[in-house]
């Protein structure tokens, strides 16, 4: 039997297969080397990088919820300079795609990080985190207003020639409006979705469980919502989509691909199985082989969503 072709082009981003690890759940990639071969991944996205290191929010900043988790990490990261000096050299020789997730508190900070990443070897693309619900400045402020989103996309577009993905928030009234704003402003790719804002209450202490009160909900609990938003977005834009939200198995990944995603990211599942993306990839390969499908690309957006009466 012929081996199925798993390679995909996500706009200008060429991947050997459609499975990536999601930002914030996979460190800087190197931490996962004991558990999987980074070169087998289509790619991975780094933790959000800011101009200077951040310590993040105080604990409690993670709580498990039914089929998911809430986090309020607050974008703890080493900062873009330490990433370039200390992490990137070890990643550079590897045959995988390293996408840098970028975060800033102001437009100038986003531009600063993009400019620095644009100037070095080894970064395959930039994913703008304009949708983090867990920080007081930046993040969601840019991702919940279409004109602010367009503006931040435009200035980052000018700062880099690298493939540019804009990561959308689900915490908006109409994701299609945001998707079109990013597309028109020059995004090559849309990544979706970031986490849903939620909260958990400790009924004995009568206090929120999380120190910062609210957090971002991720994991299988959000998957049907994420698939729906992916499908809606795919109807609204021409640029490719990287879908995510609660992917654990290949069948989960296929839901996003059929709904219109050209590639997927595996996030929270990495905390349960550190080789989760490889499990998803193996399952996709099996699915294609069993169904005699030559290329994963044949499946993208092929969902028949005709309403049956």
Ligand X SMILES: Cc1cc2nc3c(=O)[nH]c(=O)nc-3n(C[C@H](O)[C@H](O)[C@H](O)COP(=O)(O)O)c2cc1C
Residue 146 interacting with ligand X (CB under 6 A): no
Number of residues in contact with ligand X under rule CB under 6 A? 26
Closer CB to ligand X, residue 4 or residue 109? 109
User: Is 169 in contact with 246 (CB distance < 8 Å)?
Assistant: no
Q: Which of 194, 230, 233, 262 binds ligand X (CB under 6 A)?
A: 194
Out of 41, 63, 73, 117, which residue is the one contacting ligand X (CB under 6 A)? 73
Q: Are 165 and 125 in contact (CB under 8 A)?
A: yes
Question: Do residues 145 and 177 touch, judged by C-beta distance below 8 A?
Answer: no
Which tokens is 305 given? 């969503």
Q: Is 23 in the site for ligand X (CB under 6 A)?
A: yes
First and final C-alpha spacing in the chain: 40
Catalytic one among 6, 22, 49, 132?
132
143 binds ligand X (CB under 6 A): no
Q: Binding residue for ligand X (CB under 6 A) from 25, 144, 233, 262? A: 25
**Considering the rule CB under 6 A, would residue 210 count as an interface residue with ligand X?**
no
Residue from 93, 147, 160, 97 nearest 123 by CA:
97
The answer to whether residue 132 is catalytic is: yes
H-type alpha helices, the chain: 80-82, 88-92, 107-118, 140-143, 146-159, 175-184, 223-236, 250-258, 276-290
Collapsing DSSP to helix, strand or coil, 233 comes out as helix
Q: Judged by CB, which is closer to ligand X: 22, or 111?
A: 22
Binding mask 78-117 for ligand X (x = CB under 6 A): -----------------------x----------------
Cβ(61)–Cβ(6) below 8 Å: no
Of 165, 178, 160, the closest CA to residue 240 belongs to: 165
Q: Does 245 bind ligand X (CB under 6 A)?
A: yes
Which candidate, 276, 274, 179, 272, places its Cα nearest to that of 264? Answer: 276
Residue nearest to ligand X (CB): 24
> Does position 171 bind ligand X by CB under 6 A?
no
Q: Is 157 a residue that touches ligand X (CB under 6 A)?
A: no
| Residue 50 interacts with ligand X (CB under 6 A): yes or no | no
Residues that bind ligand X (CB under 6 A): 22-25, 47-48, 71, 73, 75, 101, 129, 132, 167, 194-195, 218-219, 222, 244-247, 266-269
User: Active-site positions?
Assistant: 132
């Amino acid at each position: 039997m012929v081996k199925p072709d798993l390679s995909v082009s996500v706009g200008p981003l060429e991947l050997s297969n459609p499975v990536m690890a999601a930002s914030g759940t996979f460190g800087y990639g190197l931490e996962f080397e004991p558990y999987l071969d980074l070169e087998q991944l289509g790619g991975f996205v780094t933790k959000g990088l800011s101009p200077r290191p951040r310590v993040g929010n105080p604990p409690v900043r993670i709580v498990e919820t039914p089929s998911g988790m809430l986090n309020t990490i607050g974008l703890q990261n080493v900062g873009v300079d330490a990433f370039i000096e200390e992490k990137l050299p070890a990643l550079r020789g590897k045959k995988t795609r390293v996408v840098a997730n970028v975060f800033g508190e102001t437009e100038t900070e986003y531009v600063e990080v993009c400019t620095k990443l644009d100037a070095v070897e080894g970064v395959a693309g930039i994913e703008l985190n304009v949708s983090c619900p867990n920080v007081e400045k930046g993040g969601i402020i840019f991702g919940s207003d279409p004109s602010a989103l367009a503006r931040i996309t435009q200035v980052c577009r000018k700062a880099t020639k690298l493939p540019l993905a804009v990561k959308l928030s689900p915490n908006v009234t109409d994701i299609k409006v945001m998707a079109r704003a990013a597309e028109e402003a020059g995004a090559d790719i849309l990544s979706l979705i970031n986490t849903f804002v939620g909260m958990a209450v400790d009924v004995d202490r009568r206090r929120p469980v999380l120190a910062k009160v609210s957090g971002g909900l991720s994991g299988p609990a959000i998957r049907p919502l994420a698939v729906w938003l992916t499908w809606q977005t795919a109807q609204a834009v021409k640029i490719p989509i990287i879908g995510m939200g609660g992917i654990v198995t290949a069948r989960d990944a296929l839901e996003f691909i059929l709904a219109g995603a050209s590639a997927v990211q595996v996030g929270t599942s990495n905390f349960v199985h550190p080789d989760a993306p490889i499990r998803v990839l193996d399952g996709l390969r099996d699915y294609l082989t069993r169904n005699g499908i030559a290329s994963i690309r044949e499946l993208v957006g092929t969902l028949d969503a005709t309403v049956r009466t």
